Amino acid sequence: MLIHGGEQPQPPERVVIIGASGFIGGAIAKLCLSVGLETLPLGRAEVDLLADDAAAALATLLRAGDTVVAAAAIAPVKSPQMLIDNIRLAEAICGALRARSVAHLINISSDAIYADSAHPMDETARREPTSLHGAMHATRELMLTDAAGATPVAHLRPTLVYGADDPHGGYGPNRFRREAAAGGPIRMFGKGEERRDHVDVLDVAELAVRIALHRSRGALNAATGDVHSFASIAAQISAQFDAPIEELPRSGPMPHNGYRAFDPAATRAAFPDFTYRPLPEGLERVRRALEG
């Protein structure tokens, strides 16, 4: 749950986005700039968080009145070395926060920190990650919270994120779209029966900006509350591009036992006027964005 620092939204003195060259960080930076917030986007070109002097270099860029968005990550984490590198990224941010206190910290985390569940999960779900990616985010939440000290901290935990600028091509809407746009086929595991929640990157960005405006603290899942099978998603994208669908044999069990759903009540409580974009509408938005 989120606790607002103020019921009425107030622009931060400045929003500093660490990881602004990434998928989610970039979307947050664009939205901050479009609504007129003073924004400092930081990518690797500005601060290399794996450099030996990263903490000191980052600290020199921060001000006491800043709202800092920690969105830098090497993702998804698929190896122990990637896990180590992500902890080093967070360590640099923590060092900067200890050297230079700021007004607010927003950490972009992940729903991967949660254990599997046969029921829709909320922000109180057990934090027992079953992957290196989840372990990375769970560890970084603890690190950043500790480094922030008295500074209010909010952890935004998106589920599977899709959007036109996704660089990863992870299984689901992003990969299906790329395969279809290339002429197909859309390659789907088994019958595509797994049911998952998918959130538009623009909705994640809007939630981050709202959290900044309210100087909120606590945790919030960025998840729509609706689950869709991968088969239904493949069918929608297939219809957009007139691309065939190919069923591939599975090499192992379905991730998360084929079901991962969320209760979005905390989003409604924190931001009653916010509505998640339905998946069909989001997929159509992405198609139009790519067509220019």
Q: Does the pLDDT of residue 72 top 90, yes or no?
A: yes
Q: Does the pLDDT of residue 292 top 80, yes or no?
A: no
Q: Does the pLDDT of residue 5 top 80, yes or no?
A: yes
Question: Which range among 24-38, 69-83, 165-179 shows the weakest confidence by mean pLDDT?
Answer: 165-179
Instruction: Supply the CATH classification number for the domain 2-164+199-224+262-271.
Output: 3.40.50.720
Residue 255 confidence class, pLDDT cut points 50, 70, 90: confident
- Whether pTM > 0.75 for this model: the answer is yes
Residue 208: C-alpha distances to residues 29, 98, 148, 221, 243 (Å): 10, 23, 18, 11, 35
pLDDT at 82: 97
> Length of the chain in residues, anyone?
292
In 23-170, at which residue ranges do the beta strands (DSSP E only) sit? 39-42, 66-70, 104-108, 153-158, 160-162
Mean of per-residue pLDDT scores for the chain: 96
CA 139-144-145 angle, to 5 degrees, is 100
- Extents of the domains making up the chain: 2-164+199-224+262-271
What single-letter DSSP state applies at residue 217? E
